[in-house]
Amino acid sequence: MAKIKWRSGTLLAPLPPALVSCSDGERDNLITVGWTGIICSDPAKTYISLRPERYSYEIIKKTGEFVINVPSSHIIRSIDFCGVRSGRSVDKFKECRLTKETATEVKCPMVAESPISLECRVTDVIPLGTHDMFMADIVAVNVDERYVDEKGKLRIEQCSLATYAHGTYFALGKKIGSFGYSVKKKSTKKRK
Ligand SMILES: Cc1cc2nc3c(=O)[nH]c(=O)nc-3n(C[C@H](O)[C@H](O)[C@H](O)COP(=O)(O)O)c2cc1C
């Protein structure tokens, strides 16, 4: 079987359909963002790429702050809604009945229904073409305590994470390995 060559495009999958919150101090807004990722570990840095015509673009450009709320399948309908309706004409928090939580470092709210919320402060805005890339420092990470065990470990498999691939949302399912498992020595302990 050979691969078919298509013209240049954005077919990288899966991606997180991140629910990004922002606020101009008077109105809080939500926007779904697929063009996001981690670009540095230390300092922890991320980016979101936004089209200048988005209502959220204006807000984030002005305030330099946003929160990335990691998507869970429990709120996937709201995530889709926030990606097809503009905050110019609808209060998306209200319409989706999502709960605002006060962030610790930035002035925009986090989404309580998301298991992980990353507070971000913009460091650079890079015009790229259709989208401008907002590079940002991750200034705080907030994890829902329900998913942290007694040893302080995040049980991410319990977070019902959702993902986005080629226009479709999926619920993450089966665990198939963990970091470095391919080279890990097998335990020599004898079973009783
Ligand atoms: C799954 C999904 C991913 C999206 N990714 C992006 C993105 O990365 N950048 C962007 O500018 N718009 C993206 N959008 C579109 C915006 O979320 C959409 O235009 C939204 O209504 C803008 O809201 P606002 O005008 O309130 O800011 C995406 C939409 C969906 C459904």
Residue 65 Cα distances to 113, 118, 184, angstroms = 20, 11, 40
Whether residue 119 lies inside any domain: the answer is: yes
Q: Ligand 1 centre and the CA of 50: distance in Å?
A: 8
56 in Cβ contact with 29 (< 8 Å): yes
- pTM score of the predicted model: 0.96
Tell me, yes or no, whether 3 lies in a domain.
Answer: no
Q: What is the CATH number of the domain that holds 27?
A: 2.30.110.10
pLDDT recorded at residue 44: 98
Ligand 1 probe mutation, 33, 48, 69, most atoms within 8 A of CB: 33
Q: Give residue 25's domain range.
A: 18-183
Q: Is residue 13 part of a domain?
A: no
Structure tokens at 145: 């305590």
Q: Is the pLDDT of residue 188 over 80?
A: no
Tell whether ligand 1 has an atom less than 6 A from the beta carbon of residue 59.
no
Q: Is the bond preceding 17 in cis, omega lying within 30 degrees of 0?
A: no
Ligand 1 pocket check for 23: Cβ under 6 Å: no
> 4 CA distance to ligand 1 centroid (A)?
29
Q: Is residue 8 part of a domain?
A: no
* Model confidence pLDDT, tens digit, residues 103-147: 999 999 999 999 999 999 999 999 999 999 999 999 999 999 999
Q: Which of 22, 31, 60, 81 to mutate to test the pocket of ligand 1 (most atoms within 8 A of CB)?
A: 31
* Domains held by the chain: number: 1
Report yes or no on 58 lying in a domain.
yes
Q: Is 6 inside a domain boundary?
A: no
- In this model, does residue 11 exceed pLDDT 90? yes
Q: Characterize 15-30 residue by residue with b for buried, 16 or more Cβ atoms within 10 angstroms of its Cβ, and e for exposed.
A: bbbbbbbbbbeeebbb
Q: What is the pLDDT of residue 4?
A: 98
Task: Sort strands 18-23 and 28-33 into parallel, antiparallel or unpaired.
Answer: antiparallel
Q: For residue 43, is it within any domain? A: yes
Ligand 1 center to 32 CA (angstroms): 5
Specify whether the backbone of 154 is left (phi greater than 0), alpha (psi in -120 to 50) or beta. Answer: beta
Does residue 10 fall inside a structural domain? no
Query: For 41-87, how does the pLDDT look when each residue is reduced to its tens digit (9 = 90+)?
Result: 999 999 999 999 999 999 999 999 999 999 999 999 999 999 999 99
